[in-house]
Homo-oligomer: A and B are copies of this chain.
Amino acid sequence: MTAIVQCIPIYAEPPGLHDNSADVERLKRAVAEKTRSALLTVPLAQVTTVSGHFRQVKFSGAAVVNEREGRMELVDVLPEVPAFLPAMALDLGTTHLEATLVDLLTGTCLARANKENSQISCGDDILSRIHYAGRGNGLDELHDKIIATINDLACELASAAGVIVDQVRALSVSGNPTMVHLFLHLDPFYMCREPYIPVINAPDSCLAAELGLVISSSAPVVILPSVGSYFGGDLISGILSSGLDQSEQTCMLIDVGTNAEVVLGNSEWLIACAGAAGPALEGGVASMGMRAGPGAIEHVRIDPSTGETSFRTIDNQPARGICGSGIIDLVAELYLAQVIDLRGKFRPGAAPGLFQAADGTYGYRVVAAEHCADGKPVEVSQVDLDALMRSKAAMYAILSTLVGQVGLEFSDLAHIYVAGAFGRHIDPRKAVTLGMLPDLPLSVYEPVGNSSLAGAQQVLLHASSRERCRAIMQKITYVELNVNQEFMMRFSGSKFIPHTDRTLFPSVPVF
C-alpha cells in the first residue's frame, strides 16, 4: 500500500557548526534516508510551516509527503506518526454526494456521509447545469455551491471521526465530467455542443487551497480521469473497484444512473458505452417513482392464484413511492400473474389491484391510500409501464450490442457487476423475467455497491490504483450507440417480455 500521502518517521541530527545545512535540506536528507527517493520538493507555500514544525519537534518526528504525478512533495512535519492520517474519498454525483473518511495508514473507513448536491437549485440535470454555467457568473455560483457542499461533508466526516477538518490530508474525487469541470471551476460550455469536447479529461492533482476547500491547505486533490464527455471518472472508478481491468475472465460492469453505463472487458481490453436506459430505473419517470430511500417500495410479490399484492419498503417505512428495483419487481410480477401481456400492456380482467381511470386507461394500485405515508395510494399507470418497457429494452439492447461488438455471447461472461443503489436493491431474477438482463445463472450477477466511491478510496490508498486509472483511460474503447444501427434493431426486438426471440430466455415462463 502506497497511499497518496505518507507519514514518514524521520530522525535528523540537530544543526551545529560542523553541519550548517539549512532546515529544509536537513529535513529532505532525513526523508531521503527513509524513502530512497531522490526527487523531493517542498512547495514555497509550505516552506515556513515545514521548517517551523521541524524545529518545534527538535529535528525528529514524522514528515508528511504527498505523491503528485509520480513525484514526492513534502508538506508538513508532525511530532510523530499520528494515530491515523485521514483522507476523504468523494463520489461527486449530479444529485447526491457520498463520501468516506479513510485512514491512509491502515485503509480503514473512519466515517461515511452523504449530502444532496446543492447545485440542484441551479438545475436538476447535467444539461441544465451546463446552460446555467454559461449565464452571467453561473460558473462561479455552481463552483461555490459544490465547494460549499463538499466542505460541509468534510466537516461532518471529520466531526464523526473526531478529527480536526484541516487535518484531512487528501481528497479523491470521482464524478462525471461535467461535475468535475464545475468542481474545478472549468467551463463545461463545449461539452454539450457537437463534437462534445471537455476542457480536460485527466486533470493533474492540485492542492486543496487552490479550490477553497477547508481540509488541509496542502492536501492533494486527485481526480479520477474521464474519457470523452460522457464516460466519467465515476465509471473508471467502477472498473478499478470491480477489477475488470485485471480480470483474466471477461466480465461486465453495469452502472445505472441517469444513463446506463456499461463496460465489458478483461485484462487485455476494455470496451464501453452509455445509453439512456436509466430514468425509469432510477425512479425519475414513473409518476410514483422515487430514488431508493426510506419508504420506497423495493420488492413486490403478487400471488398468481389470488392476485394479492405484498410488498416491502426500504427501512420498513410507510410507502411513499416506488424505486427502480420496485418497479422491476412489480412489472415482472404483473407479467407472471398475467395482469399485463408480453407487450407490457394491462389485460382488462379480474385482478385485485387493477383499476380503470376516468379516461378509460388502466392502472394498478400497489398500496392503498390508507397504508401510505402521504395518504396517497401508490399506483402505476400504462404510461409508467411504457416508460419501463422502453428502459428495459434499451438496457438489453445496450448489453447485447456491446457483447456483439466483440463477437462474444452473454454466456462468455464470468461476472456481471451491478453498481450503485440499483445493483444493491435489484432482484436479478426479476430483471431476467422482464428480459432486461440476460438469462444467466443468478450467481453471475454481483452487486458492487457505490463503486464510484470505492474506486475513489482505492486511489487514495494504492499507487497501483492510481497507475491503473491512467492505463484504463488509455486502453478503453468507447462505442457510440446513438449512431449504431445494430443497437436500434436490437432495441426493437427487446420491446417485449422477455423478448421477441424467446429462446434467449429459456428460464422465463411462457403464457
A346 to chain B, nearest CB (A): 41
Q: Give Cα A17–Cα B228 distance, bound, in whole angstroms.
A: 10
Query: Contacts A39-B70, A187-B48 given: A21-B195 contact, CB under 8 Å?
Result: no
Contact B70 A25 (CB under 8 A): no
Residue on B nearest A229 in the bound complex, by CB: B20
Contact B228 A21 (CB under 8 A): yes
Decide if A199 is an interface residue (CB 8 Å cutoff): yes
Contact A210 B44 (CB under 8 A): yes
Interface hit among A109-117, A200-208, A249-257, A300-308: A200-208
**Contact residues in B for A16 (Cβ distance below 8 Å):** 195
Contact A24 B195 (CB under 8 A): no
Query: Contacts A17-B480, A71-B71, A228-B21 given: A199-B47 contact, CB under 8 Å?
Result: yes
Q: Which 5 A-B pairs have the closest CB atoms?
A: A44-B206, A24-B200, A22-B198, A22-B201, A20-B228
Query: Contacts A69-B41, A194-B17 given: A24-B199 contact, CB under 8 Å?
Result: yes
Could you list some 11 contacts between A and B, CB below 8 A? Answer: A20-B195, A20-B229, A23-B190, A24-B201, A39-B69, A42-B204, A43-B206, A44-B206, A44-B210, A48-B187, A69-B71
Decide if A120 is an interface residue (CB 8 Å cutoff): no
Decide if A463 is an interface residue (CB 8 Å cutoff): no
**Contact residues in B for A187 (Cβ distance below 8 Å):** 48
Decide if A66 is an interface residue (CB 8 Å cutoff): no
Contact B20 A199 (CB under 8 A): no
Query: Contacts A17-B483, A39-B70 given: A47-B200 contact, CB under 8 Å?
Result: yes
Q: Give Cα A447–Cα B25 distance, bound, in whole angstroms.
A: 33
**Residues of chain A in range 421-440 having any CB-CB distance to chain B below 8 Å:** none
Identical subunits present: 2
**Contact residues in B for A42 (Cβ distance below 8 Å):** 200, 204
Residue on B nearest A227 in the bound complex, by CB: B21
Q: Give Cα A53–Cα B17 distance, bound, in whole angstroms.
A: 53
A188 to chain B, nearest CB (A): 11
**Contact residues in B for A70 (Cβ distance below 8 Å):** 39
Q: Give Cα A187–Cα B51 distance, bound, in whole angstroms.
A: 10
Say which residue of B23, B41, B196, B197 sits within 8 Å of A199 (CB atoms).
B23
A73 to chain B, nearest CB (A): 9
Decide if A184 is an interface residue (CB 8 Å cutoff): yes
**Residues of chain A in range 186-235 having any CB-CB distance to chain B below 8 Å:** 186-187, 190, 194-204, 206, 210-211, 226-229
A441 to chain B, nearest CB (A): 37
> C-beta contact mask, A43-64 vs B, less than 8 Å → 1, else 0?
1110110010000000000000
Contact A197 B41 (CB under 8 A): no
Q: Which of A22, A190, A226 has the most CB of B within 10 A?
A: A22
Decide if A375 is an interface residue (CB 8 Å cutoff): no
Query: Contacts A69-B39, A202-B25 given: A15-B45 contact, CB under 8 Å?
Result: no
Residue on B nearest A73 in the bound complex, by CB: B204
Residue on B nearest A74 in the bound complex, by CB: B204
**Contact residues in B for A51 (Cβ distance below 8 Å):** 186, 199-200
**Contact residues in B for A196 (Cβ distance below 8 Å):** 17, 20
Residue on B nearest A191 in the bound complex, by CB: B22
A386 to chain B, nearest CB (A): 30
16 more A-B residue pairs beyond the given contacts A23-B199, A24-B201, A47-B186, with a C-beta to C-beta distance below 8 A: A15-B197, A17-B194, A20-B195, A20-B196, A21-B197, A21-B201, A22-B198, A22-B199, A22-B201, A23-B197, A23-B198, A24-B199, A25-B202, A42-B204, A48-B187, A51-B186
Q: Give Cα A511–Cα B403 distance, bound, in whole angstroms.
A: 106
Residue on B nearest A68 in the bound complex, by CB: B41
A25 to chain B, nearest CB (A): 5
Q: Which of A70, A71, A199, A226 has the most CB of B within 10 A?
A: A199
**Contact residues in B for A483 (Cβ distance below 8 Å):** 17
A373 to chain B, nearest CB (A): 44
Say which residue of B25, B69, B211 sits within 8 Å of A200 (CB atoms).
B25
A280 to chain B, nearest CB (A): 27
**Contact residues in B for A15 (Cβ distance below 8 Å):** 195, 197
**Contact residues in B for A200 (Cβ distance below 8 Å):** 22-25, 42, 47, 51
